[in-house]
Amino acid sequence: MCEFIHQGQKPKNKMASSYNTTFLKGCPNFGGSIYIILQFPSDKYVINQIIFCIVNCFLIICTVLLNGASIFTIVRNSQLRGKVCYFLILIQSTIDLAVGAVSLPLYTLARGGEVLGVADCALVYFCEKIFGLITGISFLTLFLLTAERYLSVMHPVAHRVQLTKRKVLLCSSLTTLPALLFNFANFPSEIVHSTAIILFVGTLLALNTFAYVKIFLVARNLHKSNRIADFSIAMEQNSSEFERKRKSSQEVKLAKSCALVVVLSYFCYVPGLLCYGFYKNDKLNLRVAYSWSMTIIALNSSLNSIVFFWKRPLFRGEAVKMLKTMFRV
């Protein structure tokens, strides 16, 4: 996306201010980072943003259908519904459904208004903030998935006894606080705002990395012990130890699915950082490129469901049964 946009006009350093003033309008009443495109320099920009809106419409349908199927599958099956991890996946899917049903349509509406020449500062502000809020909550919920998997593998007894659905729901509700803070709080400057976000996300990245490194070390040791052990003898001599290893193996497999989801989410956020670094002195091209990066971030909400369906046989099997029932195959 960045390469395509780069083919259009790009202001030189001395002309950047007049260039941006000609095509952009700032929204000082809604914060220094909010601005709208009054007109596009060439038809290439218009075509680019029309394609952007079409792609988003397709993505909206996919996100709603995939997460709707995920929610329905978990709610319909008592075995899935009874597990804390799948309850957290249910919460994640509900938030991702909101990304497809609310935040992405609003963001597409704001960008479409610029293409039609009817963009409004209040509308753009509202759409961008709602998009940032819901995608932020989705991102933070992935961290809860990591924490839950870490407890299940490293501290299985505490996980089984102390971690309840009510506590998970409470922790999930608390994720709205940092999302609200970073989207609506008044920071002294844009630099302070960006620095705070980088430090916060960097901390989450470090904690996620630590958790999954520990989990995969356990998985490696478990794999070695399983290769050495004779399971038929183990079941006769120490059935409880065999059962413990079997459950640990299941928890590790689910942790691998969650790890893949988290890694994909990080990759989905990388294009936004790259485009910001490439166009940081050119607000017009930054806005157009950043629009596509928001689409990639929203794509993560579809990828989450795809990974869970692909990696979890029980989850996938129940979804297939649901589809057969719905379409009477």
pLDDT of the residue at 249: 60
DSSP class of residue 216 equals: H
CA pair distance 263, 58, nearest whole angstrom: 24
Could you state, in order of their start, the residue ranges of all structural domains in the chain?
19-222+248-327
Contact (CB, 8 A) for 164 and 148? no
CA pair distance 250, 255, nearest whole angstrom: 9
pLDDT of the residue at 314: 67
Architecture of domain 19-222+248-327: Up-down Bundle (1.20)
CA pair distance 8, 6, nearest whole angstrom: 5
Write down the pTM of the prediction: 0.81
CA distances from 236 to 137, 212, 225, 228, 246 (A): 48, 33, 17, 16, 15
pLDDT of the residue at 233: 47
pLDDT tens sequence for the chain (329 residues): 444 444 444 444 444 444 455 787 877 777 667 778 888 888 898 999 999 999 999 999 999 988 988 888 888 877 777 888 889 989 999 999 999 999 999 999 999 988 888 888 888 889 889 999 999 999 899 889 888 888 888 888 888 888 888 999 999 999 899 999 988 888 887 778 878 888 888 898 888 888 888 888 877 776 665 554 444 544 444 555 545 555 556 666 667 777 788 888 888 888 877 777 777 777 888 888 888 989 999 999 988 888 877 666 766 776 677 666 666 64
**Closest Cα partner for 56 from 127, 119, 3, 140?**
127
Residue 24, beta-bridge partner list: 37
pLDDT of the residue at 24: 78
Contact (CB, 8 A) for 164 and 215? no
